[in-house]
């Protein structure tokens, strides 16, 4: 029973971090980014590539993968999404196309076999007589800290206030001189980085293969719908529920 609770809590934390990025994009731009799951997959695969092929230490490999995915997110936003932002259907189609292209690229590059992302912590921790992988506990702790940090950032910084203003009333924010396009670019980078970080943390104990983007995007979509589109606290609460589903 305790093991189920711990595993569910870890899953909830991973999905919450994914959903926070997903709901930020919706809150700022009113679009559903179906490429969000591919950012998650790229984070895991990038870390695998840097550690297994280039023999980098794990921490630099993970940070490099997250940074590259953030840049890729900005590319997707500026080149593919921004010209079509007035059409939600077009954005859905183009972001789905991005996800499928990334899936095929991963398949052609790494094959369909499962890959292993190294864990930051190999040891197991005994909690109440149950051995729990240290990688899971680390993922739970890091996700909790990152989500808490994001909440503080949104609530207590000028950039966070600008993000809130745009998500609450885009027209009023524009009249106030808030650069909505620039904010959207920043939010896209943050969203992609959060998803990639989730992939890095989940990689050691979840399946790393080309179609790994699909379940996270379905879960993230369900979370933001249940929690309220654009609501970060609602997304976190919904993730706690769906983590045990």
As a whole-number percent, the residues of the chain with pLDDT over 70 amount to 97
* Predicted local distance difference test score (pLDDT) of residue 116: 85
Which of the two residues, 107 and 181, has the higher pLDDT score?
A: 107
In the three-class reduction of DSSP (H, G, I as helix; E, B as strand; rest coil), residue 111 is classed as coil
Among the listed residues 27, 21, 19, the one whose alpha carbon sits nearest the alpha carbon of residue 180: 27
Predicted confidence (pLDDT) per residue in 17-29, tens digit: 988 888 888 888 8
* Predicted local distance difference test score (pLDDT) of residue 230: 64
Burial pattern 130-166, b for ≥16 Cβ within 10 A else e, equals: eebbbbbbbbbebbbebbeebeeebeeeeeeebbbbb
Among the listed residues 16, 11, 2, the one whose alpha carbon sits nearest the alpha carbon of residue 149: 16
Predicted confidence (pLDDT) per residue in 119-176, tens digit: 998 888 888 777 788 888 999 999 999 999 988 998 899 998 888 888 888 788 888 8
pLDDT (mean) for 45-54: 96
pLDDT (mean) for 219-224: 84
Is residue 244 pLDDT above 80, yes or no?
no
Which of the two residues, 172 and 241, has the higher pLDDT score?
A: 172
pLDDT (mean) for 218-241: 78
DSSP state of 115: B
Confidence bin at 32 (pLDDT 50/70/90): confident
* Predicted local distance difference test score (pLDDT) of residue 146: 93
Predicted confidence (pLDDT) per residue in 77-107, tens digit: 999 999 988 888 999 999 999 999 999 999 9
pLDDT (mean) for 182-188: 92
Confidence bin at 245 (pLDDT 50/70/90): low
């Amino acid at each position: 029973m305790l093991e189920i609770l711990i595993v569910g809590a870890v899953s909830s934390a991973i999905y919450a971090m994914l959903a926070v990025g997903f709901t930020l994009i919706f809150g700022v731009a009113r679009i559903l980014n179906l490429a969000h799951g591919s950012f998650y997959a790229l984070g895991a695969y990038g870390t695998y590539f840097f550690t297994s092929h280039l023999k980098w230490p794990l921490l630099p490999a993970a940070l490099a993968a997250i940074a590259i995915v953030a840049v890729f997110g900005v590319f997707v936003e500026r080149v593919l999404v921004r010209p079509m932002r007035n059409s939600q259907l077009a954005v859905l189609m183009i972001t789905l196309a991005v996800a499928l292209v990334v899936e095929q690229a991963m398949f052609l590059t790494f094959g369909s076999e499962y890959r292993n992302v190294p864990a930051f912590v190999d040891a197991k921790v005994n909690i109440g007589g149950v051995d729990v992988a240290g990688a899971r506990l680390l993922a739970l702790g890091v996700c909790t800290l990152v989500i808490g940090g994001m909440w503080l950032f949104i609530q207590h910084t000028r950039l966070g206030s600008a993000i809130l203003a745009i998500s609450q009333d885009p027209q009023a924010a524009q009249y106030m001189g808030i650069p909505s396009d620039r904010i959207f670019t920043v939010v896209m980078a943050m969203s992609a980085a959060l998803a990639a970080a989730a992939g890095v943390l989940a990689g050691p104990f979840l399946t790393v293969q080309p179609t790994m983007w699909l379940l996270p995007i379905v879960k993230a979509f369900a979370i933001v719908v249940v929690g309220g589109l654009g609501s970060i606290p609602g997304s976190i609460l919904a993730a706690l529920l769906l983590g045990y589903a």
